[in-house]
């Protein structure tokens, strides 16, 4: 399948149409951004790493009952995906307090949460992706039925259960992550976008080293080395 027109360019991916109106090609870019693109950078090979990482994790999730948009991985940094209407809600799932949660609520960085926290953020760069609740989602018409929000929460928790165990076996602590969902032509809610060190926090269980985009956000260096380490651990047989 060939790339046709550029349909959309985001901060980390480009989406192209194909000859099949129901299928798109996603191209993973080497660009890195943080703080709503206030900080910009690029890391050669990062797109290919995220493409491989996300391919592996989507396959794992699919085997564990999470429907995804991924059809097949075409090459190093391209995936063939189902065309969906993205629900403009960033579903953030947290096991450990850090990042914006610690900042907003004053919870000490690194505190293990008493239960898995699921949050919704409105996917709108102009508004800086604000935290929203169920009523905001309805007022903004982000979903047509409040029950869909429960489905998103359930899917977020299931993804967390699968990934947390998978990474723990590989000595990585899944601290938190962000996922996005889309609705396909049959009305099915599919896990979409990507799951990668751009959208997750991974802390090494033995050294506490951060192996994710916080290395870029916090100028810790060795961004690509960290992403390579995550891919290496994913590929470990357990």
Residues that bind ligand ASP (CB under 6 A): 11, 33-37, 213, 217
Contact 67, 191 (CB under 8 A): yes
Q: Of the ranges 79-87, 151-159, 184-192, 195-203, which one interacts with ligand TMP (CB under 6 A)?
A: 195-203
81 membership: H or E segment, kind and range: strand 78-82
In angstroms, give the least distance from the CB of 47 to ligand ASP: 14
Under DSSP, the state recorded for 87 is -
CA distances from 187 to 64, 69, 144, 182 (A): 21, 13, 12, 9
34 contacts which partner out of ligand ASP, ligand TMP, none, CB within 5 to 8 A by kind? ligand ASP
- Give the residue with the Cβ less far from ligand TMP, 20 or 109: 109
Contact 152, 89 (CB under 8 A): yes
Structure tokens at 38: 């206030």
88 contacts which partner out of ligand TMP, ligand ASP, none, CB within 5 to 8 A by kind? none
Q: Which residues pair with 27 in a beta bridge?
A: 14, 78
d(CA 90, CA 127): 13
162 membership: H or E segment, kind and range: helix 146-168
99 contacts which partner out of ligand ASP, ligand TMP, none, CB within 5 to 8 A by kind? ligand TMP
Residues 104-123 that bind ligand TMP (CB under 6 A): none
In angstroms, give the least distance from the CB of 34 to ligand ASP: 4
37 contacts which partner out of ligand TMP, ligand ASP, none, CB within 5 to 8 A by kind? ligand ASP
The binding site for ligand TMP (CB under 6 A) comprises 92, 99-101, 129, 176-178, 199-201
């Amino acid at each position: 399948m060939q790339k046709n027109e550029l349909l959309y360019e985001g901060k980390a991916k480009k989406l192209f149409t194909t000859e099949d109106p129901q299928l798109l090609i996603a191209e993973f870019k080497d660009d890195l951004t943080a703080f709503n693109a206030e900080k910009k950078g690029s890391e050669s090979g990062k797109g290919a790493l995220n493409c491989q990482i996300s391919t592996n994790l989507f396959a794992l999730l699919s085997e564990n009952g999470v429907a995804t948009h991924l059809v097949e991985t075409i090459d190093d940094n391209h995936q063939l995906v189902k065309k969906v209407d993205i629900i403009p809600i960033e579903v953030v799932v947290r096991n450990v307090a850090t990042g914006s949660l610690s900042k907003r609520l004053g919870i000490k960085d690194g505190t293990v949460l008493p239960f898995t926290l699921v949050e919704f953020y409105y996917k709108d760069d102009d508004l800086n992706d604000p935290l929203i609740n169920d009523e905001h989602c309805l007022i903004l018409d982000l979903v047509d039925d409040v029950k869909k929000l429960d489905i998103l929460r359930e899917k977020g928790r299931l993804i967390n259960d699968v990934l947390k165990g998978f990474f723990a076996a590989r000595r990585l602590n899944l601290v938190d992550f962000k996922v996005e969902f889309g609705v396909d032509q049959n009305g099915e809610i599919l896990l979409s976008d990507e799951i990668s060190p751009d959208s997750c926090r991974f802390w090494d269980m033995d050294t506490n080293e951060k192996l994710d985009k916080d290395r870029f956000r916090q100028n810790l260096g060795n961004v690509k080395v960290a992403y390579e380490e995550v891919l290496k651990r994913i590929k470990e047989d357990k």
